[in-house]
Structure 1
Amino acid sequence: MSRKNWKTMVVAMTAIFLFAALTYTTGTGGSFHYIENPLRDALSSKVVMQREPDTRIKIIKIDSKSLDTIGQFPWDRSVYARLIEKLEQGKAKAIGLDVMIPEPSKDPKQDEALAAVMAKYNNVVLPVNFNFPAKQKADHLLEYDRIEVPTAAIRAPRSQLAHVNVFPDNDDKVRRLIIGLPEKSGELVEAFSVKLANFALDEKERVRWDSGEGKWYRGSQVIPANARNQIITQYYTSPRQEKDLRTGYDSFSFSDVLNDKVDARSFENDIVLIGPYTTGMQDEFMTPMSSSIKMFGVEIHANMVQSILENKFWHEASKPVGIGVIALIVLLGTFLFHRFRGKAAFFLFLGLFIGYMFVFVIVNEVMHLYIPIFYPLFAIMLLYVWSIVSHYLEERRERNRVTGIFGRFVPKAVVDQMLTSGREVKLGGERMDISLIFVDIRGFTTLSEKLEPEQVIQFLNEYLDVCTKAVFKYNGTLDKFIGDGVMAMFGAPVRYDNHAEMAVRAALEMKKQTAMLEERLMAKLGFTVRFGIGINCGPAIVGNIGSEDLRLDYTAIGDTVNLAARLESNAKPGQILISDHVYERVKHLFDIESMGEIKVKGKELPITIYQVLADKSAAAE
Structure 2
Amino acid sequence: MPQIKLYSTLTKHHFLAVAALIFCLTVSLQFFSPAIIAQVVNRLDGLVYDLKIKLLAPQTTNLTNIQIVDIDEESIAHFGRMPWSREKFAKLTQTLTEQGAVVIVYDILFSESQDSPVKDITRVLPQLSQNEQMLLNDYFDYDGAFALSMANNDIVLANLFHYHNKIKVGGFVKKSRVMNDASQNRFADQSISQKSIDADNMAKRSHLVKSTSSSENSNTLQENFVTFTGYTNPITRFSKVAAGQGFMNAITDFDGVVRRTPLVIEYEQHLFPSLALEAFRVYSLVDQINIEWEQSNNAYFEGVTIGNVTIPTDDSAQILIPYRGQKNHYTYTSAADLIQGKITDNRFEQAVVFVGTSAIGLADLQTTPVSVNYPGVEIHATVFDALMSPNNIPYRPDWWKGAIFIQLMIISLLCLLVFPHKDALFSVVFTVLIIISVITVNLSLWRIYRIDLPIVVLLLQTLIFATYFIGYGFFSESNRRKVIKSMFAQYVPGAHIDKLLSDSTAINLEGERKTLSVMFCDIRNFTSISESMPANELKDWLNSVFSPLTNEILRKDGTIDKYVGDMIMAFWGAPITDELHSQKSIHAGLEMLSNLTKLNEEFIQQGKPSVSIGIGINTGEMNVGDMGSDFRRSYTVIGDAVNLASRLEGLTKFYGVELLVSEFTQQQAPDFNYLLVDKVKVVGKSTPIFIYTVLKDEQQVTSDDFKYFSLAQKYYFNQQFELSEQAFNQINPDFNFSPLVSIYLKRIEAYKCEPPNEHWDGSYQHIKK
Provide the TM-score with structure 1 as the length reference: 0.56
The correspondence for 1:188, drawn from 261, 271, 289, is: 271
Matched, 1:156 2:240: yes
Q: Which amino acid aligns with 1:385?
A: T
The separation in 2 between residues aligned to 1:362 and 1:210, in whole angstroms, is 28
CA–CA distance in structure 2, aligned partners of residues 361 and 320 of structure 1? 18
Question: Is the Cα contact below 8 Å between 2:94 and 2:149 reproduced in 1?
Answer: yes
- Are residues 117 and 393 of structure 1, via their aligned partners in 2, closer, same or farther at CA, if it must alter by over 3 Å? closer
Q: Is the Cα contact below 8 Å between 2:158 and 2:234 reproduced in 1?
A: yes
Provide the secondary structure at the position in 1 that maps to 2:67: strand
C-alpha deviation, 1:200, in angstroms: 4.0
CA pair 212-38 structure 1, distance change in 2 beyond 3 A: closer
1:175·1:232 contact (CA, 8 Å) conserved in 2?
yes
Question: Is 1:306 aligned to residue 396 of structure 2?
Answer: no
Which residue does the alignment assign to 1:580?
none
Q: 1:320 aligns with which of 393, 402, 406?
A: 402
Deviations 1:513-535 (A, max 9, x none): xxxxxxxxxxxxxxxxxxxxxxx
Give 1:255-266 correspondences, 5 Å limit. 255-263=336-344, 265-266=346-347
Answer yes or no: is 1:110 the counterpart of 2:142.
yes
Shift of 1:346: 1.2
- Residue 550 of structure 1 aligns with which residue? none
Per the alignment, residue 537 of structure 2 pairs with: none
TM-score, normalised by the number of residues in structure 2: 0.46
TM-aligned CA deviation for residue 224 of structure 1? 3.3
1:587 — aligned with what? none
For the residue of structure 1 that corresponds to 2:261, the secondary structure is strand
- State the one-letter code of the partner of 1:234: P
| Shift in CA distance, 180/345, structure 1 to aligned 2, threshold 3 Å | same
Counterpart residue number, 2:351: 270
From 184, 197, 202, give the equivalent of 2:280.
197
Cα offset, 1:175, TM superposition: 1.0
What CA distance in whole angstroms lies between the structure 1 residues aligned with 2:39 and 2:401?
12
Aligned equivalent of 2:446, options 361, 364, 386: 364
Match of 1:336 in 2: 418
Tell me the alpha carbon deviations over residues 420-439 of structure 1, each in whole angstroms, 9 at most, x when there is no partner: xxxxxxxxxxxxxxxxxxxx
* Residue pairs, 1:380-399, within 5 angstroms: 380-389=462-471
Equivalent of residue 142 in structure 1, options 193, 202, 226: 226
Q: Give the aligned partner of residue 155 of structure 2.
A: 124
In the alignment, structure 1 residue 59 sits paired with structure 2 residue 68: yes
Q: How many Å separate the matches in 2 of 1:388 and 1:345?
A: 7
Query: Which residue of structure 1 lines up, in the alignment, with residue 262 of structure 2?
Result: 178
Identify if the C-alpha distance between structure 1 residues 208 and 91 changes in structure 2 by more than 3 Å, giving closer, same or farther. Answer: farther
CA distance in 2, matches of 1:133, 1:350: 51
Output the CA distance in 1 between the equivalents of 2:22 and 2:311.
33
Q: Which residue of the partner structure matches residue 286 of structure 1?
A: 367
Check the 8 A contact 1:215/1:222 in 2, yes or no. Answer: no
1:34 aligns with 43
Using a 3 Å threshold, how does the CA distance of structure 1 residues 319 and 47 change in structure 2: closer, same or farther?
closer
User: For the Cα contact (< 8 Å) 1:22–1:31, is it kept in 2?
Assistant: no
Matched, 1:224 2:305: no
Matched, 1:82 2:91: yes
1:25 maps to: 32
Residue identity over aligned pairs, in percent, reads 20
Determine helix, strand or coil for the equivalent of 2:77: helix
**Which residue identity does 2:149 align to in structure 1?**
V
Unpaired runs of 5+ in structure 2?
A: 4-8, 117-139, 166-219, 296-300, 477-769
Q: Quote the residue 1:3 is aligned against.
A: 10
Secondary structure of the residue that 1:120 maps to in structure 2? coil
Cα deviation for residue 207 of structure 1 reads: 6.0
Secondary structure (helix, strand or coil) at the match of 2:224 reads coil
Residue aligning to 1:14: 21
Which moves more between the two structures, 139-148 or 91-100? 139-148
- Tell me how far 1:51 sits from its aligned partner: 7.6
Aligned CA-pair RMSD: 3.1
Alignment of 1:535-554 (within 5 A): none
Inter-CA distance 22–145: structure 2 relative to 1 (3 Å threshold) = same
Residues 88 and 368 of structure 1: is their aligned pair in 2 closer, same or farther, counting only changes over 3 Å? same
Partner amino acid for 1:125? V
CA distance in 1, matches of 2:241, 2:266: 18
The aligned runs of 1:232-247 (5 Å cut-off) are 232-240=320-328
> For 1:266, what is the secondary structure of its paired residue?
coil
Q: Give the SS at the match of 2:373.
A: strand
CA distance in 2, matches of 1:227, 1:58: 31
Cα distance in 2 between the residues matched to 1:120 and 1:55: 21
Cα displacement (A) at 1:41 = 2.0
Distance 1:333-1:231 versus aligned 2 partners, 3 A rule: same
Deviations 1:559-590 (A, max 9, x none): xxxxxxxxxxxxxxxxxxxxxxxxxxxxxxxx
Q: Whole-Å Cα distance in 2 between the matches of residues 150 and 10 of structure 1?
A: 63
C-alpha spacing 1:119/1:393, structure 2 compared with 1 (3 Å): closer
Tell me which residue corresponds to 1:295.
374
Kindly provide the amino acid, as one letter, of the partner of residue 152 in structure 1. T
Deviations 1:434-471 (A, max 9, x none): xxxxxxxxxxxxxxxxxxxxxxxxxxxxxxxxxxxxxx
Q: Give the corresponding residue for 1:407.
A: none
After superposition, give the CA deviation of every residue in 1:378-408 in whole Å (9 maximum; x if it has no partner).
Answer: 11111111111267899xxxxxxxxxxxxxx
The residue type equivalent to 1:282 in the other structure is A
Following TM superposition, by how much is the alpha carbon of 1:198 offset from its aligned partner in structure 2, in angstroms? Answer: 3.1
Q: Letter of the aligned partner of 1:360 in structure 2?
A: N
Following TM superposition, by how much is the alpha carbon of 1:114 offset from its aligned partner in structure 2, in angstroms?
1.7
- What do residues 246-271 of structure 1 show as CA deviations (whole Å, max 9, x unaligned)? xx111110011111111274211111
> Counterpart of 2:114 in 1: which secondary structure?
coil
The residue number in structure 2 matching 1:492 is: none
- Separation of aligned partners in 1, 2:403 and 2:111: 46
Once residues 58 and 32 of structure 2 are traced to their aligned partners in structure 1, the CA distance between those partners, rounded to angstroms, is: 38
Q: Residues 369, 100 of structure 1: CA spacing in aligned structure 2 closer, same or farther, 3 A cutoff? A: same
The Cα shift of 1:75 comes to 0.4
Partner residue in 1 for 2:738: none
Name the amino acid aligned to 2:395.
Answer: H
From the superposition, tell whether residues 221 and 48 of structure 1 become closer, same or farther in structure 2 (CA, over 3 Å).
Answer: closer
Letter in 1 for 2:91: R
Distance 1:256 1:236 in 2: 26
Question: Residues 157 and 242 of structure 2 are in contact (CA less than 8 Å); yes or no, is this contact kept in structure 1?
Answer: no
In the aligned structure 2, how far is the partner of 1:222 from the partner of 1:17?
38
**1:16 Cα offset (Å):** 2.2
CA distance in 1, matches of 2:468, 2:66: 52
- The Cα of 1:30 is off from its aligned counterpart by 5.5
Specify the alignment match of 2:706 in structure 1: none
Name the CA shift for 1:130/1:69 in 2 (closer, same or farther; >3 Å): same
Are residues 1:71 and 2:155 paired?
Answer: no
How far apart are residue 80 of structure 1 and its match?
0.9
Q: Which residue number corresponds to residue 333 of structure 2?
A: 252
Summarize the Cα distance change of 1:310–1:208 in structure 2 as closer, same or farther, 3 Å threshold. same
The number of aligned residues is 380
Conserved 8 A contact 1:53-1:249: no
Question: Which amino acid counterpart does residue 61 of structure 1 have in structure 2?
Answer: D
Separation (CA, whole Å) in 1 of partners of 2:442 and 2:29: 19
